[in-house]
Amino acid sequence: MAEALRIGIAGLGTVGASVARVMQAKAAELTRQCGRDLVVTAVSARDRSRDRGVDLSGAAWFEDPVALAKSADIDVFVELIGGEEGPARTAVKTALEAGRHVVTANKALLSKHGLPLAEIAEKKGVLLNYEAAVAGGIPVIKTLRESLAGNSVSRVFGILNGTCNYILTRMEAEGISFEACLKDAQRLGYAEADPTFDIEGNDTAHKLSILTSLAFGTRIASNDIYLEGISNITQADIRAAAELGYRIKLLGVAQKTESGIEQRVHPTMVPTASVIAQVHGVTNAVAIETDILGELLLSGPGAGGNATASAVIGDIADIAKSRPGFQHGPVFGRPVKELKPYKKAQMRSHAGGYFIRLTVHDRTGVFAGVARRMADSDISLESIVQQSAGSEKPSEKTVVLVTHETTEAAVRKAVDGITRDGLLTDKPQVIRIERAG
């Protein structure tokens, strides 16, 4: 049998402890699958004394993750510290430069510094694996990087943040407000004390930027992402969506268009009968559309210690099955120097259907005024319905419009016009509709 693979884990929080625990419990099976022993020989964490449900007495203890990263006694450095700067970044860079393989679950780090890190990995001929960084336990990185060789991707989209999907699922199921849902999610540990990063879409954007690079062979562009969170989604939106045959999900979408690539994160109406609409709670899902294969959908647990550990261990096993001298495929699917520049499509040129909910004055001519502004923008309407949201004052009404395919620019122009005309008593709500199978 080949020599044991020596693994150093930096960060023993929920995920790190879970990785160590599972690798110990499944040691014999992993050996069978990889043809060699996989041994955690070193760890680094802040608190040495905490009980993590795993015996780490045989592993060397490093105060400093960077010291662990350059230790000659490990073959693989597993980074589970988190954060896009600081020790995580320094340690990963150090490990790669020292010729160690690296496995990380750190989406922020990869989104911001993935390309320079990949260049080091490629130069040193080591692997940089990061399945756990996007959509937790769902094997979307391997699918894009390996399985879909030869396919040209036209669109990749998904539910990439469990917190948001949990909140939207409960808002729909229980008819409660965003604020009440968020509080409960925080109480249950599904949302952070400061939830901004999740609910405003930043976490989804980080993950999306990685998927975009893999899908389209472009350089990561984590700052060129249109961002809209879920905090302004109301029960009125959810009920109107349901009546029209839609469900609201926070999606990250990357799409090839004639003018470039769209990267956008926003609440989205998807058809209730689509597969992605059935993805509930903290579950994640990713859909990939290509020229050769067609449409592929992967769904599963997007977070949690064990689900993330599953992806980390899969990455470690891939390294264990490789042998010295083996040159794996490039980190982001193509060598960094061959990644194309990211050409951003302007959000104003985004084409698609739109859901528009307007709270208007209840007086003659308002309906006609709304319809005229739509016509002036060349927007063709699939439906225009006067609804009772139940929340209006006696002097106002709700008008819900669903457009046929139009552009973001046209919708903005029409809604701005309606606002200027003084027809509205409240802020207009605009939610994009996404095609989904």
Positions in the binding site for a copy of itself (CB under 8 A): 2, 22-23, 26, 29-30, 32-35, 131, 137-139, 142-143, 146-152, 217, 273-275, 277-279, 290, 292-301, 304, 306-307, 309-311, 313-314, 316-318, 321-323, 325-330, 333-335, 338
Output 281-284 pairs: Cβ under 8 A, ≥24 positions apart. 281/162, 281/165, 281/166, 281/169, 282/162, 282/163, 282/165, 282/166, 282/190, 283/159, 283/162, 283/165, 284/135, 284/136, 284/138, 284/158, 284/159, 284/160, 284/161, 284/162, 284/165
294 assigned to a ligand binding site: no
* Closest separation in Å from C-beta 168 to a copy of itself: 16
> Looking up tokens 């040691």, which residue turns up?
27
107 assigned to a ligand binding site: yes
Closest to a copy of itself by CB, 149 vs 375, is 149
Closest to a copy of itself by CB, 31 vs 419, is 31
Single out the residue of 274, 208, 266 nearest to residue 411, CA to CA.
266
10 assigned to a ligand binding site: yes
* Closest separation in Å from C-beta 403 to a copy of itself: 25
* Closest separation in Å from C-beta 115 to a copy of itself: 16
Do 117 and 128 touch, CB atoms closer than 8 A? yes
Determine what percent of the chain falls in helix, strand and coil, rounding each to the nearest 5: 40, 25, 35
17 assigned to a ligand binding site: yes
Closest to a copy of itself by CB, 23 vs 230, is 23
| Tokens (6 digits) for 102 | 């690296």
DSSP conformation letters of 325-390? T--PPPTTSS-GGGSBPP-BPPGGG-EEEEEEEEEEESSTTHHHHHHHHHHHTTPPEEEEEEE--S
15 assigned to a ligand binding site: yes
13 assigned to a ligand binding site: yes
Distance CA 296, CA 255 (A): 15
* Closest separation in Å from C-beta 162 to a copy of itself: 12
Closest to a copy of itself by CB, 272 vs 346, is 272
* Closest separation in Å from C-beta 263 to a copy of itself: 21
| Tokens (6 digits) for 244 | 């029209």
Closest to a copy of itself by CB, 148 vs 160, is 148
Single out the residue of 424, 359, 362, 425 nearest to residue 394, CA to CA.
362
List all residues 6 or more positions away from 80 whose beta carbon is below 8 Å from its beta carbon: 9, 10, 11, 12, 13, 15, 16, 19, 104, 105, 106, 312
The catalytic residue positions are 207
> Looking up tokens 């579950």, which residue turns up?
283
Distance CA 302, CA 284 (A): 5
* Closest separation in Å from C-beta 283 to a copy of itself: 8
Closest to a copy of itself by CB, 61 vs 326, is 326
437 assigned to a ligand binding site: no
169 assigned to a ligand binding site: no
Cα end-to-end distance, the chain, whole Å: 47
Binding-site members for L-homoserine are 192
Binding-site members are 10-17, 107, 192
Binding-site members for NADP(+) are 10-17
